[in-house]
Structure 1
């Protein structure tokens, strides 16, 4: 052993800690010294020996920087253990980067230090950002919707806030306010900030600060009553470690019921043995300090010193000197003459590859930062913190780190029973009635009708107002189900005489003008209103439908098709029908063969063309003078009774919820047309951005999915079954009864046309085919021959004879289509009827004559009779 010591290579390392008045610094230094003693006692054959060069930073940023500069420039240390705080570490890290000296801090936990991006900064503790998910999981477990962070105004306090807010928002928890307290704040300033928090509704506070400030904060909170039932306090890792390791019982006495998150350190035999040895040595070295307790900083310092000793040994016996800058200055604080360590890069690489089982667990670095497998959740109760569960990145909140059933739970049952402030096991709602703050003023409409929705009753004798109704019950039920207290009072929107102070638009506008904090009533959600206010989910669907009287209109419906047009419009239509046809005939008859021919043919063409081209596009509207407003079911019934011809109405348009109230009373006389135009429904009005909107909407949805909403509807509206199907009217389709008169006219006209045609056809063709003189042909054959003629095309209609060219056909008939059956012309038994004006031209035709415009095809039809 003595030979090993003779050939050992001393390696200077620096230690920068708050030692003068800080107990944590003394504890950490003693652990570092014990770590090196234990390490070299176990590894006596190692050739390197760390030599500690200790400096007191005196709880000052400048003091820490000066100490680090002195160690690097004058002592030429190969690494620095420390400094204590994140603010001190910020500048010291820059010095280490410049000199290539690793800065190993086992207590600087601010996430902002990572943004410096120094390769020579090694965080031998946990990044504060790693605990925010454990905190947010607690908030999620108890369904707290808001939380206020209370942190100190420095780099350590501010570093965690962005990560904490993101984690809370990820579990649907808002941060309505950030409470910032200066490290040098007086007790009066702390109390003033706490009173400010009392005036807010939020009752969940997350505290992140040094132990010295946290002790004062909890003491003042207890004094003013903020450690009572209904409040929730959650401490971050650093504060939990500071306060729970305090030997002063009065510290824990001011924070009963507080929850804390702390790094999990397994209670192994090695830790227990070390705790005993450390306590004995510390009391020997510091006899004036009574009841000091080993904390996480001491354990982290022990493991950090062990990791550095291992890394230095791995680098071998390389040059541990510095490359001096040109023109080196003798001043111990001259940054320009700062040298560069030869061994820095290899030592940093060795630290990154170091891995061992330390007192705090498996020890290894990832990207220059220590990793933690779990956090411990504690509940301050009695003289210390009681373990109630754990949080791990993979398993979340669990009662045991290794559950016996292998399952994971994030419900309240996943952790042990918590004793909250006020010595209660009932989980606080997270919100409370703000101290010295007025209740929410909820505006309600004053109605003269449909009071089932909102009914405002004034009692002049007692000067009290009673407000009831379906909307009131829905809002009350939703608020009671909220996970926080929401104090409010209903304020009627009325004049001094009790009458309504305006329309619904006026009422809703009061929220935008900040005269009301919300509006509760049968307020329809429409687009224009939503531009200025926020609305909850609709608690009742809405839409506009039509009420009509029930009448027997079997006869009247037959002529329903005539009603869309008035008699003068019908007359105008017929006149213009003829006029348009005449104009078209004048313009077309000389150039369009379709308008040529006999007078009867031309007249028919005129009327047919007009009828087939005229289209009426008549859109009906409402005369505003005939729109009448009504305010109650009774007034609506009175208007219906008068009728539209006597100052009343023929139909009523209203929103479906009001129709449902009107119909049960008058269902025997009126019915609802099965057609509605959708609207936004009824909702509660809140200011833009109000957090209450989403919370109350969630409870409304829960009521709709359950039975509560139906129970309230039955309570206020009773039986709302629709009228009997026999009295309902549907406007989605028109039945044949509506147009049977039109069908009758069209049918009679078509039937008459068919009869006339048959009579004319039989008269023209049947007198030849069916003549009694032809006794050789049976009646059946004659009838069949008559039907065959009926099925043939008739080219005799409107054929004009042209003296020069022969037969002239209308333009719609091509000459190639003409067939003259020779048997009809040559058979002496058949006579083809030919008009007188056609006979002469036909007789003068010769078989050899061929017209350039016309080809006659002679087809010899075989006789079938």
Structure 2
């Protein structure tokens, strides 16, 4: 069997569980040693199929198995078992027994010459049906196999086995089966010697996790200046909460420690420089708002994303129309306004003609009758007319007119509300090419990979790019038209729009990237487990986002010029 070496330039420990027979296992470990996999950075655990048959393994194979950890059944010799076997013989009624021999062979070492126990089947059945309390637990056979209640853990050192401890169902892992009551000492296993003569207690090793120190967008990751009772930095934010939730889903403990990546309350470099710390073995992983990008995947491994992916741009909205004092005239076109006015006058005239001869409310001086013609039609808009009509033809005309008024007022109200609210969300720019063609400045988040995207993919000149650090700087730059647009990752844009929702809008298209994920050393065995846990955690991502972010509500307010949208807490 030939093994390909998996050794890399990092110290992430790989653990192999070997379940095989001795003949195959000896060949396996010989090849593993040749491949450099019996050195520091590897751990091997063998099961009972191999560990109970170490004696037949030749010395050359034993030399290649240094530092492995074995597990096998522990069945100590006990005089009680001998007495129990004697009891079985007695119960089986075999006080007198004999052997049958075969004369088929003449050679003294011929196996066929061996005798056969005449009552062997009888004794076997008695043993299978016997149960008693042994020195290390209950003696019980299932399908001819002894069911052990105790296992011993040993370490191969030199040509000998070094006992590490024991496991029982009642007491768990123990250094010694003879419990003297000192649980603090007795529950600790001996430290094993790992491959490569490494005597470090790996259970005390912790995953080194780099955390970006940020003074902006702290809703995602925030390393506070204060420390907890253990002297560790306090960490919060959406990315941190997701990571802690993932650890809670894992089916095994993951000891870790956080190492802030920052200076004087700010990040100590770009995110690419932070991830290179993994490549150079300074960190084992990085947790934070780390975007999954193709070139970063060449030197680190990412988990599945836990956030929405993509880069888009945010621009200022047009609001010229809502500041127009005469905006209330714009829901209807000029010809519709003229037609409506003419119908108003005509309807009032028709009602006057039909009513003034028989209805005293439509009689009087000429100026009074002229005023009644105009007043009656306009007052019907809000059903405020005081004049009563008595002619049936007048009532028919009035029914038609009220129906027209109802349609007209509803259409006008809807159109005006749309102009006062929806139209303000029209973007000042809706095309990247337009911005690039006119040579406008664009902004991006400082220390972000978005700068490379703007230069290499969107073909912006570097002298047209301006870096910003905070949401407030985004707001000022766009409001004062220092830049035509700001490009950033969608989670940051959502956070920005959540706070400044009445003045800006996000524009498509979206430039696809991987989303936020956790970074680990290449080949790390933790990645698939973390990714699987992320899938479970992100089912409740919306609830987690609301607990980490401060949301604002979009509402309409009345100002001197018009109605406007505003963000309220």
**TM-score relative to the length of structure 2:** 0.48
Give 1 or 2 for the bigger CA radius of gyration: 1
Q: Give the structure with the higher percent strand.
A: 2
- Of structures 1 and 2, the one with the larger relative CO (CA 8 A, separation 6+) is 2
